[in-house]
Structure 1
Amino acid sequence: MDLRQLRYFVTIVETGSFSKAAQRLHVAQPALSQHVRNMELDLGVELLFRSSQGVVPTEAGETLVRHARLILSQMEAAREAVRGSEGEPEGDVRLGLPGTVSQMLCVPLFREARRLYPKIRLRVAEAMSGFVLDWLREDKIDVGVLYRFGADRSLQARRVLSEEVCLLGPAEPIDRPHPPPGTVSFAALASLPLILPSPGHGLRDLIEARAASEEVSLSTVIDIDTYGQIKLLVEGGLGYSILPRAALREEMAKGSLRAWPLGVPLLSRDLHLVRPADRPARRAVRVIEDLAFATLVRLVRDGVWPATLAEEAPPARAGGDLE
């Protein structure tokens, strides 16, 4: 095997299709197929399941693609180290974002990246924080924005901000009186029908941990993992929810939802920029990480993102539960 074959194989797995990989790589599809067959003969194992819907890696293929991504990343880092800091940073940078962060960050980040680093191709994938964490561990992305992660010494993080998580309800009471104005205690949640993300979702874990610490039993009537649908259900009077205030900007502006500060001290969660600590980061990755950090800080300072900046932006550090 050589580096070209590894790059071809990674692209085939990422696109899930020989034809799409051929288009991205500007290589004839039969040539890609032949490269994969040669790799399978060399290794003595099948690397891909092929069907009319596309291709997916076998267990052996998954193992190979993990190693291939690491090898390609290390080769690119070595190339940059030899060249030094001369010239503009270039290449692909893969960024993973939770949905609420993507809505706030993508437009200003892409605008600045295009202006400052025209040779960098920024790729963004959006998912819940737990999936973004998996992508980091599997080397499917270079940098992730996360609200939490477990004790993992293979990751390093910079804390950016802390955002308030609040109780929300419909603009007008429907079948019960609203809580009074002001901060709502966790004890008051016991009497409210709640619409929350599913168990295992980072925000749900945060809410339940706080409720357990205050010995409050929550009444969850609907589990749903899409913030947009949660807000629609609350607007429709099917219950209350608990979401970050930053996710409610449009609804609060038009008056379709009402929000209350929650808990004493206020319920909040921290946002981090995270990347692998166990492999060198290319220069392009580092400058995009720094640009994302600066963009998030500017959004908070300009009042676009209702949050509090970290008192002291700590240097990237390894692992740990940064809840």
Structure 2
Amino acid sequence: MNKRLSVDSLRVFRTVVQTGNMSKAALLLNLSQSAVSWKLRRLEDHLQCQLFTRIDGKSVPTEKGSVLLRHAENILTEHDNAVAYFSPSALRGKLRIGVTEHISMTEICGVISTFTHHHPEVDIQLVVEQSHLLRQHFSEGSLEIILHQDFTGTASPEDQVLWSEKLYWCATPAWRYESDKCLKLITWGPDCYYRSLAEEKLRQSKIPFTVMLECPSVAGMLAAITTGLGVGIINQYSIDKAVCNVSGFEMMMPLPSVDCLLRVNEYRFNPASEAFCQMLTRVMHKQR
């Protein structure tokens, strides 16, 4: 039996595993979605097994797919090391990037993975914080690039607007507002502007509330809301299928939109920073 694995097919396979989505993988790899689908189908035919299954709308590797992923990681690492040795990128140095978790970590990490594949000598350090902390670190000079959020129309002149999105009051589908009881609020840390917004809106509507949970992560917020612990404000691209927007609150307490912003230190010359931002904006704009 003479089976040979295509490096290109393995790279497509790994990227789909990382993103959980063929269309996102296609954008990161600069391929059409049909090309990604065709390469995966050819790989499955070649190995005579199913590599993916669908769970909650995501492409998840099967048991054999997980085995292939381990081998693919090793093969691609050695392949990329060899290519980098014989055709090295001119980019060198460090790149310190700050990201708010409200922006999809899957997409950001996918861009970083692709960038480091092309420029292995660039050492990327990623910091995940709330937006106000990212802006503080940026002003102190410890971050060269930040991806942060603010209310639409409030961006600084040094910010580039990547996209805008809505905010929603979210709860589990079974949740019902009871006016005779104190509302339980699921929220971020005390300094987060999502929390300040929620508290301001509830006070204006004279709805008594208590903070049931403070959580610094999107996953934690969604888990608390999904299990029915209370209500929280979630941005459009973080909403999970297990939660839904509270239409009554949307009418009573409408929420503003937010801008997702890119801020770059233009006073510190770094070719790697420029190359990374070009890749990032290209992928993010296509996905939206």
Taking structure 2 as the reference length, what is the TM-score of the superposition? 0.57
Match of 2:263 among 265, 274, 277: 274
Show CA shifts across 1:35-63 (max 9, x none): xxxxxxxxxxxxxxxxxxxxxxxxxxxxx
TM superposition shift of 1:291:
1.9
Q: d(CA) in 2 for partners of 1:194 and 1:141?
A: 32
CA contact (8 A) 1:147 1:202 kept: no
Show CA shifts across 1:58-117 (max 9, x none): xxxxxxxxxxxxxxxxxxxxxxxxxxxxx7332211110112325233332123313443
Partner residue, 1:320: none
Does the alignment pair 1:117 with 2:94? no
Letter in 2 for 1:281: F
Partner residue, 1:195: 186
Structure with more relative contact order (C-alpha pairs < 8 Å, separation 6 or more) = 1
Letter in 2 for 1:257: V
Counterpart secondary structure, 1:220:
strand
Equivalent residues in 2 for 1:4-43 (5 A)? none
Q: d(CA) in 1 for partners of 2:243 and 2:205?
A: 28
TM superposition shift of 1:201:
0.7
Change in 2 beyond 3 A, CA 1:133/1:225: farther
Counterpart secondary structure, 1:100:
coil
CA contact (8 A) 1:95 1:124 kept: yes
Match of 1:220 among 210, 233, 236: 210
Counterpart secondary structure, 2:212:
strand
Q: d(CA) in 2 for partners of 1:206 and 1:266?
A: 8
Q: d(CA) in 2 for partners of 1:93 and 1:231?
A: 31
Partner residue, 2:99: 97
Change in 2 beyond 3 A, CA 1:134/1:289: same
Change in 2 beyond 3 A, CA 1:270/1:91: same
Partner residue, 1:297: 285
Show CA shifts across 1:229-268 (max 9, x none): 222222222211111132223xx0xxx3223463576532
Partner residue, 1:168: 170
Show CA shifts across 1:258-289 (max 9, x none): 23463576532111001235x23312112212
Partner residue, 1:259: 245
CA contact (8 A) 1:93 1:285 kept: yes
Q: d(CA) in 2 for partners of 1:276 and 1:208?
A: 34
Alignment gaps of 5+ in structure 2: 1-88
Partner residue, 2:67: none
Letter in 2 for 1:220: T
Q: d(CA) in 1 for partners of 2:186 and 2:234?
A: 10
Partner residue, 2:220: 229
CA contact (8 A) 1:137 1:276 kept: no
Q: d(CA) in 2 for partners of 1:276 and 1:220?
A: 40
Alignment gaps of 5+ in structure 1: 1-86, 180-187, 301-323
Q: d(CA) in 2 for partners of 1:100 and 1:161?
A: 13
Taking structure 1 as the reference length, what is the TM-score of the superposition? 0.51
Counterpart secondary structure, 2:103:
helix
CA contact (8 A) 1:99 1:126 kept: yes
Of all paired residues, the percent bearing the same amino acid is 15
CA contact (8 A) 1:196 1:220 kept: no
